[in-house]
Amino acid sequence: MRITSEMSYNEVLKIELIHLKQKHRDLDSAIEALQKIINSDLLSITRLKRNKLALKDKIARIEDKLTPDIIA
C-alpha cells in the first residue's frame, strides 16, 4: 500500500469503511455480551446501541460516496 499522502480519496474511504465495519461488529459483540448478563446496565446497552446505529449511518454515507451514481 502507498504512503498516506499518496493515497487517493477512494482508498482512504475504503480503509475508513473497513475500520468502521470492524468497530460496528465489536459493538455488536459487546451489546450481545451485556444482554446475557442478568443484572446488566440498560443505560450502557442503550448507549452502545445508539453508537452502533451512528456507525451504521456513517458506513452507509461512505458506501454512497464509493458507489457511482448511475443515471437510468
Instruction: Specify the residue for cell string 464509493.
Output: 66
Task: For 13-63, write each residue's pLDDT tens digit.
Answer: 999 999 999 999 999 999 999 999 988 899 999 999 999 999 999 999 999
Distance CA 30, CA 49 (A): 10
pTM for the full model?
0.81
Say if CB 31 and CB 45 are below 8 A apart. Answer: yes
The amino acid at 63: E
Long-range contact set of residues 64-67: C-beta below 8 Å, sequence gap at least 24: 65/13, 66/10, 66/13, 66/14, 66/17
